[in-house]
Chain A
Amino acid sequence: MDGLDLANALMNALPWLGVLVVAAPVGLGAIRGGARLRSLHARIRMREKALDRPVSTAPWIDRDRRVASATLAVGNVVISVDGFRLILAGLQRLAGGEVVGYTTVLDLARREALLRMCEAAPRADAFVGCRITTCSLEDAAHYVEVVVSSTAIQYEARL
């Protein structure tokens, strides 16, 4: 009898579970997503201020200085776009124009990946040949990876 009650209770709860599965991502995204992004933004800005080494997409920055060492530096971030943003983006896609929710999330991810690349080579004097790639890992899940790679160089000491 107890088992049957439990089964009944479960059956009654099922539709609510469905509602929860759909509503949770949207609600969580709306409530927490924005706050998380804002705090991330603040942290990134602080670390960017501390960054004083030049980063260039060109293969060299100062041709007059002799390079002592060169090595590959990579930084990456995998991010997801929250449920609330997804729905907003869906509506925005219908209207056309810039999908602002995605733009901000990807912008933050790129800046974070760039910072990680710089932090991966703490002794480098400069970063040359910097490249940024963005790719979607899985279409359905909206996971996006951003990779920033460059060549970290150390100059010979000035005489």
Chain B
Amino acid sequence: MTPIDPREPDLMLTNLYEVPGRRIIEHYGLVHGGTVRAKHLGRDFFAGFQNAVGGELTAYTELMNEARAEAVARMKAQARELGANAVVGVYFTSAGVAAGAVEILAYGTAVRVEPS
């Protein structure tokens, strides 16, 4: 949990259009971060077996998780550069862009907030 603290060590992320318990004082506009990931050959091999049986593909769940974390990190870097201390309205999208590759995109609105 990100503590609401005047020193603000980390950017706050929320998928709402406001930060609960805070007031938006400035908008910096859209920030986004994306990454295209290819499946690991070894992982893909075992996922092929799992695919036949059905159910969860743990290796891919993990891969998508890592990719999403990377996309968020890039979005945060962009927001920090603008001087924001929070990103509101954060959304994720992903799509297969080529055979065996997926793009994960995180986007939101960089803002500056202060305690209300």
Contacts and interface: CB of A to CB of B under 8 A. Distances in A.
Interface of A: 24-25, 28-29, 32-33, 36-37, 40, 59-60, 66-72, 74, 76-85, 105, 109, 112, 121, 123-124, 128-129, 131, 133, 135-143, 145, 147, 149-154
B16 A77 contact: no
Interface of B is mostly: mixed
- Chain B: interface size category: 35 or more
Contact of B2 (A28, A37, A69, A84): A69
B52 interface: yes
B14 A129 contact: yes
Contacts of B94: 135, 137, 145, 147
Looking at B3, B22, B52, B99, which has the most chain A CB atoms within 10 Å of its CB? B52
B42 interface: no
Looking at B21, B53, B96, B102, which has the most chain A CB atoms within 10 Å of its CB? B53
A126 B80 CA distance: 28
A74 B96 contact: no
B107 to A, nearest CB: 12
A60 B94 CA distance: 27
Interface string B55-87: 111001101110010000000000000000000
Interface of B: 1-4, 12-22, 47, 50-57, 60-61, 63-65, 68, 90-96, 99-100, 102
Given A128-B20, A147-B92, A82 B54 contact: yes
Contacts of A28: 52-53
Contacts of B61: 76-78, 145
Contact of A78 (B18, B19, B53, B64): B64
B3 A70 contact: no
Contact of B20 (A82, A136, A153): A153
A40 B90 CA distance: 30
Given A80-B55, A152-B1, A143 B60 contact: yes
A59 B20 CA distance: 8
B89 to A, nearest CB: 9
B55 A131 contact: no
Contacts of A83: 52, 54
Given A68-B4, A135-B94, A151 B15 contact: yes
A29 B14 contact: no
A72 B15 contact: yes
Nearest to B87: A72
A72 B90 contact: yes
